[in-house]
């Protein structure tokens, strides 16, 4: 994209360069995007906008620029999925339970990216719609209404980070944060034609992220390109030992340094493993076709393709849908009408207050998962379901390790189909669960995974190529995606305004 293009067509890197050259101020950039957010309210992507709060942040970024600071993200806007708590904006996690809730502190990821306290200097333009407590694959479980896919407004943008995906795809923000518990960064990125990466479990701090399933939840960036994702991830990822004991105690890393590679065959020597199970039944032909074309592009870049086996792929669905609800049922017990958010107006005794509060505050999918989770953790069923699922989880992780003896990265589709119609799976939760088949195993194993735009399928809707790496191989994934994006332009395609 030429540097003279409108601001919303520029990449994060290009915007940062313009800001650093003082060709444009952070306030001007924020105003440009805020106007776009205002005019695209029909997408349902934003849950909270506060122009004054955002412009105050932009002024702070401009002051840092005026003082001569030149850091890679300074003054560039973004928006956060509404599961990251923020002082400047309310946080709802897409639930009535937290309507109007305002956190007294910023999530670590928000703080690391933000304009205060030595953060990277990005300006927060608001909070993005998501499935309630990040439970869903279509963003149709939000208590505040669905998000529309900018490629076809009758279709879902994917979920649960659907607001993040739609906002980036529609050019309302150059980048956004998302969270991925079982696919919620990768799948919406795929369904809206943008790039997203879920790092290794623990690479980003979970402090201040509204908890869904704590052993799976992971934050990551969503943007147009791998380069932009690398820029954001470099600021997001770092150990947070005092606040999240499960965060990996590793320093920040410059992921942009990993992007470049030399020569006509920059990926020479890279072995890409194709799990048989990812290409067999269940994946629609248009998706397989686009992924195959992308893989042949990888061969031209010097990579070689090898077949690998992930035999337990199918079991990742029941395994995940036991473990995630189990953890959710425990995490969501904190919403009792006493400590956070909603409390029923009329109630009898304490137990009645709990019951009415939770009945009113939670939506149908959240209640379904609390019930499943409570069931699989209960005495008499724990061994049969929860413990069994934990054992299979370990076997799934071991299968990946076996596959990584034959290859360096694993590739396949992100989702079995392109974006479906809003409402199509609402009454059939199992149909929505099945659509997670290619993303869940990566999460269960704690591995990094990303989605890279790889063309279009049925109805001219975007298809994502998934790249999965071994632990802490984010740099390798980003390089593989970046090199692909040097020779393809799928990530530059835009939906009609």
Q: Would you say 301 or 435 has its CB closer to ligand GLN?
A: 435
User: Residue 58 is encoded by which pair of tokens?
Assistant: 């932009």
Q: Would you say 152 or 180 has its CB closer to ligand GLN?
A: 180
Query: Whole-number minimum distance, CB 416 to ligand GLN, in Å?
Result: 13
Among 14, 86, 92, 137, binds ligand GLN (CB under 6 A): 137
Instruction: Choose one: 92-100, 174-182, 280-288, 473-481; the region binding ligand GLN (CB under 6 A).
Output: 174-182
421 labelled catalytic:
no
What whole-number distance in Å separates Cα of residue 393 and Cα of residue 317?
A: 11
Task: Give me the 91-130 binding string for ligand GLN, x by CB under 6 A, dash otherwise.
Answer: ----------------------------------------
CA distances to 98, 337, 347 from 341, rounded to whole Å, are 5, 7, 16
160 labelled catalytic:
yes
For ligand GLN (CB under 6 A), the number of binding residues is 13
Which residue, among 389, 372, 404, 412, has the nearest Cα to 312 in the 3D structure? 389
Among 29, 93, 134, 267, binds ligand GLN (CB under 6 A): 134
Among 124, 181, 319, 466, binds ligand GLN (CB under 6 A): 181
Among 77, 163, 182, 453, binds ligand GLN (CB under 6 A): 182
What whole-number distance in Å separates Cα of residue 142 and Cα of residue 152?
A: 19
Query: Whole-number minimum distance, CB 404 to ligand GLN, in Å?
Result: 23
- The backbone torsions φ and ψ at residue 165, rounded to the nearest 5 degrees and listed phi first, read -65, -45
Query: Whole-number minimum distance, CB 119 to ligand GLN, in Å?
Result: 25
Is residue 485 within the footprint of ligand GLN (CB under 6 A)?
no
Q: Would you say 244 or 436 has its CB closer to ligand GLN?
A: 436
What whole-number distance in Å separates Cα of residue 190 and Cα of residue 461?
A: 10
Query: Whole-number minimum distance, CB 293 to ligand GLN, in Å?
Result: 27
What whole-number distance in Å separates Cα of residue 196 and Cα of residue 477?
A: 11
What does the DSSP assignment read for 313-367?
Answer: GGGHHHHHHHHHHHHHHHHGGG-SSSSSS---SS-SSHHHHHHHHHHHHS-HHHH
Query: Whole-number minimum distance, CB 332 to ligand GLN, in Å?
Result: 13
Q: Which residues contact 404 (CB under 8 A, 6 or more apart)?
A: 273, 410, 470
Identify the burial level of 257 via C-beta atoms within 10 angstroms of its C-beta, where 0-12 means exposed, 13-18 middle and 19 or more buried.
Answer: exposed
Among 139, 142, 160, 329, binds ligand GLN (CB under 6 A): 160
Task: Give me the 414-443 binding string for ligand GLN, x by CB under 6 A, dash otherwise.
Answer: ----------------------x-------
Q: Would you say 16 or 444 has its CB closer to ligand GLN?
A: 444
* Summary count for the chain: helices (H), strands (E): 16, 11
Is residue 135 within the footprint of ligand GLN (CB under 6 A)?
yes
Q: Half-sphere exposure of residue 381, counting CA atoms within 13 Å on the CB side?
A: 10
What whole-number distance in Å separates Cα of residue 398 and Cα of residue 290?
A: 29
Which residue, among 39, 28, 22, 38, has the nearest Cα to 6 in the 3D structure? 28
What whole-number distance in Å separates Cα of residue 318 and Cα of residue 310?
A: 16
Is residue 180 within the footprint of ligand GLN (CB under 6 A)?
yes
Query: Whole-number minimum distance, CB 348 to ligand GLN, in Å?
Result: 34
* Residues between 371 and 410 that touch ligand GLN (CB under 6 A): none
184 labelled catalytic:
yes
Q: Would you say 182 or 469 has its CB closer to ligand GLN?
A: 182
Which residue, among 420, 419, 417, 415, has the nearest Cα to 465 in the 3D structure? 415
From the list 95, 103, 184, 247, the catalytic residue is 184
In the bound state, the residue with its beta carbon closest to ligand GLN is 184
3-state SS string for 275-327? EHHHHCCCCCHHHHHHHHHHHHHHHHCCCEEEEECCCCHHHHHHHHHHHHHHH
Packing angle of the helix pair 474-487, 226-236 (nearest 10 deg): 160
Q: What is the CA radius of gyration of the chain?
A: 21
From the list 11, 26, 81, 451, the catalytic residue is 81
Task: Give me the 301-330 binding string for ligand GLN, x by CB under 6 A, dash otherwise.
Answer: -----------------------x------
Task: Give me the 199-238 binding string for ligand GLN, x by CB under 6 A, dash otherwise.
Answer: -------------x--------------------------
Dihedral of the alpha carbons of 34, 38, 41, 46, in degrees to the nearest 10: 30
What does the binding site for ligand GLN look like in residue numbers (CB under 6 A)? 134-137, 160, 180-184, 212, 324, 436
Catalytic residues: 81, 160, 184
């Amino acid at each position: 994209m030429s540097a003279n293009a409108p601001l919303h067509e520029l990449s994060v890197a290009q915007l940062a360069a313009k800001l650093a050259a003082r060709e444009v101020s952070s306030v001007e950039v924020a105003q440009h995007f805020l106007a776009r957010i205002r005019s695209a309210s029909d997408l349902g992507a934003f849950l909270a906008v506060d122009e004054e709060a955002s412009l105050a942040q932009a002024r702070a970024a401009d002051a840092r620029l005026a003082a001569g600071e030149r850091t890679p993200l300074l003054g560039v806007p973004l928006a956060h999925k509404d599961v990251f708590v923020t002082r400047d904006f309310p946080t709802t996690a897409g639930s009535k339970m937290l309507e109007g809730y305002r956190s007294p502190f910023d999530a670590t990821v928000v703080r690391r990216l933000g304009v205060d306290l030595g953060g990277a200097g990005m300006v927060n333009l608001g909070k993005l719609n998501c499935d309630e407590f990040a439970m869903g694959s279509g963003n149709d479980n939000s208590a505040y209404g669905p998000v529309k896919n900018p490629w076809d407004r009758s279709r879902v943008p994917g979920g649960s980070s659907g607001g993040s995906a739609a906002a980036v795809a529609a050019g309302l923000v150059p980048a956004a944060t998302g969270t991925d518990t079982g696919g919620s960064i990768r799948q919406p990125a795929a369904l809206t034609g943008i790039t997203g990466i879920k790092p290794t479990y623990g690479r980003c701090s979970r402090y201040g992220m509204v908890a869904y399933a704590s052993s799976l939840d992971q934050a990551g960036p969503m943007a147009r390109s791998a380069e932009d994702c690398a820029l954001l991830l470099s600021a997001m990822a770092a150990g947070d030992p005092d606040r999240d004991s499960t965060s990996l105690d590793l320093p920040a890393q410059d992921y942009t340094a990993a992007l470049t590679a030399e020569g006509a065959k920059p990926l020479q020597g890279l072995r890409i493993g194709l799990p048989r199970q990812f290409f067999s039944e269940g994946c629609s032909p248009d998706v397989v076709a686009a992924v195959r074309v992308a893989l042949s592009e990888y061969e031209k870049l010097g990579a070689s393709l090898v077949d690998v086996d992930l035999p337990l792929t199918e079991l990742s669905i029941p395994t995940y849908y036991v473990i995630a609800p189990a953890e959710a049922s425990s995490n969501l017990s904190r919403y009792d009408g006493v400590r956070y958010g909603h409390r029923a107006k009329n109630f009898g005794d304490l137990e009645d207050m709990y019951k009415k509060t939770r009945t009113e505050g939670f939506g149908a999918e959240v209640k379904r998962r609390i019930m499943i989770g409570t069931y699989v953790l209960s005495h008499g069923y724990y061994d049969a379901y929860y413990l069994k699922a934990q054992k299979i989880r370990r076997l799934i992780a071991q299968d990946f390790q076996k596959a990584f003896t034959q290859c360096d990265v694993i590739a396949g589709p992100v989702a079995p189909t392109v974006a479906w119609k809003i409402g199509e799976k609402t009454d059939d939760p199992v149909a929505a669960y099945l659509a997670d088949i290619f993303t869940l195993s990566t999460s269960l194993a704690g591995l990094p995974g990303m989605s890279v735009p790889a063309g279009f399928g049925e109805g001219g809707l975007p298809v994502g190529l998934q790249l999965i790496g071994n632990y802490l191989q984010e740099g390798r994934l980003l390089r593989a995606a970046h090199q692909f994006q040097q020779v393809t332009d799928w990530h530059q395609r835009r939906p009609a305004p």
